[in-house]
Amino acid sequence: MVRSDRTWSPTSIDLDWIEATGRPLHPVLIEMESVADPEGIPILSRDSGRMLAVLAANRRRVLEVGTAIGYSTLWMALALPPDGTVVTIDPDRARTDRARAFWRRAGLPDTRISVVNEPALDAFEGAAPELRGPFDMVFIDALKDEYLAYLAALMDRLVPGAVVVADNVLWSGRTSGARPSRPGDGSDALREFCARVSADPAFETAILPIGDGLLVATLRP
Ligand SMILES: C[S@@+](CC[C@H](N)C(=O)[O-])C[C@H]1O[C@@H](n2cnc3c(N)ncnc32)[C@H](O)[C@@H]1O
């Protein structure tokens, strides 16, 4: 094994301590968590949300691919400086309408978050002015087979120093082979995405084992 021989993993006591030490969650985030699980709406983990907030805190123009009910969007929007904005893409209008209601309840004016209701690759080819960029943060959390294509379409819209974040890169253990995968289940695509971004000298990249795995890559200035 190449990694350092760590003989210790955090216990539930450590995780409870982290939770107790972190700033209390916005009540609307808690409400979103409570509806997502019973309804089977996939949202990122709370730890990954905290990480997104850290990364968003000094950004101005964020693009998100995959809104769902707007949980990750809200983590980023609450952390952005007052002039920071998010553009988020999801073809599922019913979900993004619910997202908008949550964001309003969290006190965010509609002008802070724009929604594009189209499949992302179509949207990137279209002329929507809000997708022209430039962006200083991109969060990718939609179709796993399309992660590389999203990034390729966005490269020219990123400022130097932009951070690219992608969720589910561990895919519950299927990407690494820790659990069995099937052709077409997204595992091969995620494996290729992680390998390509990690090997790309244009990026400084880390894969964090939080939630379902978060890839974080900074575009070198
Ligand atoms: C994992 S969920 C997003 C969760 C959200 N980022 C969060 O953590 O709160 C993935 C979303 O991608 C959307 N989606 C599916 N196909 C898409 C596409 N081609 N382009 C953009 N979004 C898509 C789905 O409708 C779904 O709501």
Query: Longest Cα pair distance anywhere in the chain, in angstroms?
Result: 52
Mean pLDDT by 10 residues, the chain (221 residues): 69 93 95 96 96 98 98 98 98 98 98 98 93 97 98 98 98 95 95 98 97 97 92
Give the mutation target among 43, 44, 52, 143 for probing the ligand 1 site: most ligand atoms within 8 A of CB. Answer: 143
Q: Which domains are seen in the chain, by residue range?
A: 24-219 (3.40.50.150)
Please tell me the distance between residue 1's alpha carbon and the centre of ligand 1 in angstroms.
35
Q: What pLDDT is attached to residue 9?
A: 84
- Residue 148: which of 208, 210, 196, 209 has the closest Cα? 196
Please tell me the distance between residue 64's alpha carbon and the centre of ligand 1 in angstroms.
9
Q: Which residues lie below 8 Å from residue 117, measured CB to CB, with a gap of 6+?
A: 89, 90, 91, 92, 93, 96
DSSP 3-17: S--------HHHHHH
Give the mutation target among 87, 97, 141, 151 for probing the ligand 1 site: most ligand atoms within 8 A of CB. Answer: 141
Q: What pLDDT is attached to residue 139?
A: 98
CA-to-CA dists, residue 87 to 39, 66, 82, 114, 162, angstroms: 25, 11, 15, 5, 15
**Ligand 1 neighbours (beta carbon < 6 A):** 42-44, 65-66, 68, 71-72, 89-92, 95, 119-120, 141-143
Please tell me the distance between residue 169's alpha carbon and the centre of ligand 1 in angstroms.
15
Note if the pTM is more than 0.85.
yes
- In what helix (H) or strand (E) does residue 204 lie, and over which residues does it extend? strand 203-208
User: Could you give the CA distance from residue 178 to residue 107 in angstroms, rounded to a whole number?
Assistant: 42
